[in-house]
Structure formats: structure tokens, C-alpha cells
Amino acid sequence: MKPRHSSFAHAALLCVVCTGMAQAASILFVGNSFLYAANSAVRVYRPESVVDLNGGGVGGVPALFATFAHESGLDYSVSLETAPGVGLDYHWEKRRAALDRAWDEVVLSGYSTLDRDHPGDAAMLTDYAGRLATMLHCRNPSVVVHLNSTWTRADQTYLATGHWYGRPVTAMAMDVRAGNDAAAAASAYVRDVIPVGEAWSRAFATGVADPNPYDGVAFGQLDLWSWDQYHASTAGYYLEALVIFGAVTGRDPLLLGARERAGYDLGLSEPQVHALEQVAHDELVAQAAMSPPKKSLVTKADACDQPASR
């Protein structure tokens, strides 16, 4: 299938790096198993290409990002700080000292349901995303902080025990996006929200991926979930990484090509890689068309004079 390029693709998504970098830009990924790629070979993919601040030898989605960046001629120093089953409150309470550095870019990924105890409630995400973004801004006023809005969980949608049971497969992703939007709007130091969950929904709508793993996976379609119908499969994490890469760097994921290295290493076919790149491209194009311009980050002189905790 011929790539559907647009003026957006030719100009690059956001043109964040169009002027080049004199030295490696630092990027930090903060989150949980949805970033370190639980239940997938992505978890141990090229761990030498990133710095795991927890010393666990994780590659994960950050290693995919590092690979895409290298293939695109971009110079990034990639780090991650992740822990299983946690929200941003954990990173603030337990790992704040490791994160309190002058980073150029930071991707923050909250708990999959927004709040473990209160699914769909964005209050905790809003609180701790704001705290972390302010801390990061105080270390480097030019830091660009992104929130990562993740995917619908099949177990939360198709099982009677799920919070989104009986609703369309896109519903959870849209609620998670709304929660991340609220958190971004509440902080002066969060730049934008990365639409990973919506890219998954687009993959379902376009037939690239099967929307219901509980009734079997249709021939020729990808299963974006892992065996637990909660975490992602290799293909699911690959799509996540493509969307994050495009959103952060401004590069069109389609330009990586069907023979992209990480996809090959992880056993994805060339048609599958191209299809996932196309989904990422199309979702980022759609987001750029309907979203307001990225907000300018303001400087509040008094914000950095506040105590580290509230």
C-alpha cells in the first residue's frame, strides 16, 4: 500500500528537532509496565541503548525510541525510570531524587485506568503530573513535558468485572485521554498529550488490529494485547513507540520505512511494520488538524521557591 503523505508529513509533525542538535538531547521516560513493555520481548530489547535509572537492564519502549532516533539521524540520550503497577504518585513519593535533574524532554505515563482504586478518576494523575512537571521545570525551564495517554484494556472492556464493561472498545482510551487532557490543562509546565490510546483505536477501526481478542484474532489482523488482555503485545508496544517518537521528535513515523530495524528484530513483517507506521502517521496527522496550537510554557518565578512536597 502506498504511504499517504500529507503536507504535515513533508514538514515533519511538530518540527521540534528541525534545526538539529549540537549535542545529544536528553529524554526521560517515567511510568510503569506500559513503558517497560511487560509480557513482551520489547522489555529486553537493546537495553544497552538506554539508561535504566533503576538498574534493571530494561530496554522497553524507550529502547524502541532510541532505535528510531538513531535510524533517523537524531542524537538522543535516553533514560527510563519505571516500576510495575504504579501511577505517577509512586515516582513522586519514592523516586523523586532520581528524576530531579535537568532533562530536555520527559514523557510521563500514569496508571492505565488513571487511578487503581478509582478507575476513570483523573484527580491523582492531575496532582502528581503537576508536581513532577513543576519540579522538572525548576531544574530546566526549557524542559518539554509530555503526558502519555495509553490504550483501552480488553479485560476492562469485555469482562463483567471491568470498569468499562459493555461500552465500545474505544471508550476506555477516550476516558484516559480526557483525564490526561485535564492533567495537562491544570499544569503550566505540561506541553501536550501523546495519543497512543487513540492510535490503538484507529488500528481497530482500520482493520489493522483485531478489537476483541476474546473471540479470536482474525486472520491478517494484529493482536495489540498480550496474553493477559491487559498489557500490550510486541505489536502494541511497537505502535506505542511509533506514536511517542512522532509526537516528541516531529518526525513522520512513515519515514522509518517498512524495513525499520526494531520491527525486523522483533519479528514483525514488513507489511505489519508499514501498517503500524501508517496508523501512527494518520493519528498524529488527525491530532495536529484538530488540536489547538501547543501552549507556550509559562515561567512562574515563585513556583520553584515552593517546598518539594505539598
> CATH number of the domain that 42 lies in?
3.40.50.1110
Residues of the chain with pLDDT under 70: 1-22, 291-303, 305-310
Whether the Cβ atoms of residue 187 and residue 202 lie closer than 8 Å to each other: no
Residue 192, domain member (yes or no): yes
**Domains held by the chain: number:** 1
Longest dimension (CA), the chain: 58
Residue 309 lies in a domain: no
Task: Quote the pLDDT of residue 22.
Answer: 54
Cβ atoms of 51 and 80 closer than 8 Å:
yes
pLDDT of res. 9: 43
Contacts with 150 (C-beta within 8 Å, 6 or more apart), sequence order: 34, 109, 112, 173, 176, 196, 197, 240
CB–CB of 222/269 below 8 Å?
no
* Predicted pLDDT of residue 105: 98
pTM: 0.91
Distance CA 133, CA 128 (A): 8
Does 249 fall in a domain? yes
Task: Identify each DSSP E strand in the chain by its residue range.
Answer: 25-31, 51-52, 76-82, 105-108, 144-149, 190-195
Note whether residue 199 is domain-resident. yes
Q: How far apart are CA 62 and CA 293, in angstroms?
A: 26
pLDDT for the residue numbered 290: 84
CB contact at 8 A, 197 and 176? yes
Q: What is the pLDDT of residue 294?
A: 53
3-state secondary structure of 269: coil
Q: How many CB atoms lie within 10 A of CB 72?
A: 16
Residue 299 lies in a domain: no
Which residues form the domain of 57?
7-291
In a domain, 296, yes or no: no
pLDDT at 101: 97
Q: Kindly report the number of other CB atoms within 10 A of residue 129's CB atom.
A: 30
